[in-house]
Structure 1
Amino acid sequence: MTVWWLLLAVFSTSWALTSVLRRYALMKSLMDIPNDRSSHSIPTPRGGGVAIVVSFLLALPVLAGLNLISASALYGVFGSSLLVALIGFADDHGHIAARWRLLGHFIAAGWALFWLNGLPPIDFFGVILDLGLFGNILGMVYLVWMLNLYNFMDGIDGLASAEAISVCLGMGLVYWVSGSNELAWMPLILAGAVAGFLCWNFPPARIFMGDAGSGFLGMALGGLAIQAAENSPEMLWSWMIMLGIFIVDATWTLFQRLLRGDKVYEAHRSHGYQHATDRLNGHALVTLGVVIINACYLLPLALLVGNGWLNGAFGALLAYFPLMVLAWKLNAGVPAFR
């Protein structure tokens, strides 16, 4: 019962703090001004993701005190995601050169892997691969890509929030069905923190998340996936499946832009979800569509994989192939002409 009160407290804190941050952003003119690469048309306060960071991180020591998460999970997820949030916060309020941001991101990823005991052996089509040092390097690249792709995908109202909530709740169900209840508490608390913010961010958004929030979510979700993989190799695949829409859209777009010879470090407006927003003439339909795909298609596959009824790598192929076709159909990676 204590945990459910904690969940309510996290939601309430996030909701209230977002309101405070919105007033602060309006007072200090911390606004996201629309340009030709934006998906919104009116100036909107930014930086509301700090509410997610604060409400989630304050809850983690409580979970540890209740013996619901291990000390290593606390230190790994708390330290790495806090560092990413601080880098994003500083970048939101000024500018940090890309090379220093990237260095900070890799330090955060290394911290997470140190406390989470590195990347565990991976089940690849029935073959257990223990990649050792290379696996830890791969794990760092995975975490850095996760936090950056989450930043890339935070481009329309409610999308990054709805993705985080649906993924966390979906993985909570995977844990419950598979009998791994002890892993469910951090995703549920994170979902509660994001839900409080989403009340202000659902279309039409009254405040944006900002880099502090989006990078934090990418690192936190990636860290939770690594933590789960140590318990069961199948769980890493379940997380990868549930995060499929963001992973496929961001990765497909990146490679398409590389093939086109575009400067991939420059801001752009060519993700699949952005093209979908133009075609549907609204943010809400795309955001709700992502939730529906997560719940109706990706979650059943994640459940099958998490319970050992379907090979993880094969399940990921089943999940990603239709999403790749969708990215191709939406011209992901091709500039939008407005």
Structure 2
Amino acid sequence: MSHYSPVVAALVTMLLTIIILISKFGKEIQDIPNERSLHETPVPRIGGVAMMAGLLTGWMLMLTSLKWWIVLPLIGLFIVSLLDDMHNLPVRKRLMAHLAAAAILVVGAGLLTQQGMLIALIVLLLTVWMTNLYNFMDGSDGLAGGMALIGFSIYGVAALISHDDTQAMLNFTIGAAALGFLYNNFHPAKIFLGDAGSIPLGFLAASMGLWGWQQGYWAAWFPIMVFSPFIVDASVTLVKRTLRGVKVTEAHREHYYQRLVQMGWSHSKVALAEYGLMLGTGVTAVSVIQQAFPWTVILAWGGIYAVLMLVIDAAWRKFKRAQHA
């Protein structure tokens, strides 16, 4: 049955997305353009409902293979994030939910007893950050959905290399749900994920990465390298804003992908460039998956990211000067 899970997830997501688009529900909960937005007209922002329904329907075919410490916090995050999409919850309440979800993951996975307090705390903080940064990076048509398709498919391939078909199918099902959503989200996007989609995806990137590490399928660096296009952009942007003394919780358009769009790149071009980057890091990660810590590969990708960011920074400064001229 598990082999049908990805197909079920993709079809259910696609069907529900279409239903949301033609329903009153979709018209009521819309993303109104603000200072962070790259779109100019209101767009329904509850695509996450369709994607999560598709994913969970696909996973139901593999119920016995699921871990409660992934599914329970995942559903909790989905509910809180959907409420946020509808009512704009305070940042503190959202953060409490993210911390609670990460704590359930860390305790449920047995990290405290297996790895000790320090590792458990590091994983907790990384999970909260991954949960949030996926939301930060969900600001351009087709971006978060496409990265989920590629990232979780890479997890699936890595599980297949370790001869675990079930783990592979669990990950392929997440990727397939993202693909079903992408059909209506690629530029020009008819619908957005909203927090109800992007927050659970970020949590899954962390939790499925942790689960694979626990089973010995990959080293701790592997999930970080697979999702590094998102991690690097969000983390470097956060550090730069913190150093400038800007309020971290404030909405903005300073991510590298956002600046590319502002400088004239189309949403499609940005999405495809990011897909290429993620395929590059993902395929590289799989090719050195047996290594405990592939220094040369990590340093090489660090260099590539540094060059890309310096080039975009220089182009941005030139763009701003031209605007003021």
TM-score (norm 2): 0.90
Name the residue aligned to 1:88.
81
Structure 1 residue 300 corresponds to structure 2 residue 283: yes
Residue type of the partner of 1:110? A
Residue type of the partner of 2:202? G
Name the residue aligned to 1:289.
273
Q: Secondary structure at the match of 2:58?
A: helix
Structure 1 residue 76 corresponds to structure 2 residue 80: no
Q: Secondary structure at the match of 1:88?
A: helix
Residue type of the partner of 1:273? Y
Structure 1 residue 133 corresponds to structure 2 residue 126: no
Aligned Cα RMSD in Å? Answer: 2.4
Task: Specify whether residues 140 and 280 from structure 1 end up closer, same or farther in structure 2 by C-alpha distance, changes over 3 A only.
Answer: same
Identical amino acids, percent of aligned pairs: 29
Name the residue aligned to 1:328.
310
Shift of residue 313, structure 1, vs aligned partner = 5.7
Q: Quick one: distance in 2 between partners of 1:240 and 1:300?
A: 13
Q: Secondary structure at the match of 1:185?
A: helix
Name the residue aligned to 2:203.
219
Equivalent residues in 2 for 1:39-58, closer than 5 Å:
39-58=38-57
Q: Quick one: distance in 1 between partners of 2:135 and 2:112?
A: 23
Once the two structures are overlaid, the 10-residue window that deviates more, 183-192 or 23-32, is 23-32
Structure 1 residue 316 corresponds to structure 2 residue 298: yes
Residue type of the partner of 1:306? I
TM-score (norm 1): 0.87
Residue type of the partner of 1:256? K
> Which blocks of at least 5 consecutive residues in structure 2 are unaligned?
none
Contact 2:128 2:203 in 1 (8 A): yes
Q: Quick one: distance in 2 between partners of 1:16 and 1:135?
A: 41
Name the residue aligned to 1:193.
177
Structure 1 residue 112 corresponds to structure 2 residue 90: no
Q: Secondary structure at the match of 2:304?
A: helix
Contact 2:26 2:45 in 1 (8 A): no
Residue type of the partner of 2:89? I
Task: Give CA-to-partner distance per residue, 1:194-227, whole Å, 9 cap, x none.
Answer: 1111111011000011011000100011100010
Name the residue aligned to 1:252.
236
Task: Give CA-to-partner distance per residue, 1:209-254, whole Å, 9 cap, x none.
Answer: 1011000100011100010110127343221111010000000000
Task: Specify whether residues 64 and 35 from structure 1 end up closer, same or farther in structure 2 by C-alpha distance, changes over 3 A only.
Answer: closer
Q: Quick one: distance in 2 between partners of 1:291 and 1:27?
A: 28
Equivalent residues in 2 for 1:57-72, closer than 5 Å:
57-65=56-64, 69=65
Structure 1 residue 243 corresponds to structure 2 residue 227: yes
Name the residue aligned to 1:127.
none
Q: Quick one: distance in 2 between partners of 1:266 and 1:120?
A: 38
Shift of residue 33, structure 1, vs aligned partner = 1.8
Shift of residue 274, structure 1, vs aligned partner = 0.7
Matched residue pairs, number?
319
Name the residue aligned to 2:30.
31
Residue type of the partner of 2:76? L
Task: Give CA-to-partner distance per residue, 1:107-154, whole Å, 9 cap, x none.
Answer: 111111222222798xxxxxxxx5x11111111111110010000000
Name the residue aligned to 1:125.
none
Name the residue aligned to 2:151.
167
Structure 1 residue 143 corresponds to structure 2 residue 127: yes
Shift of residue 155, structure 1, vs aligned partner = 0.3
Shift of residue 77, structure 1, vs aligned partner = 1.5
Q: Secondary structure at the match of 1:184?
A: helix
Task: Specify whether residues 18 and 102 from structure 1 end up closer, same or farther in structure 2 by C-alpha distance, changes over 3 A only.
Answer: same
Q: Secondary structure at the match of 1:37?
A: coil
Name the residue aligned to 1:126.
none
Q: Secondary structure at the match of 1:311?
A: coil
Contact 2:242 2:248 in 1 (8 A): yes
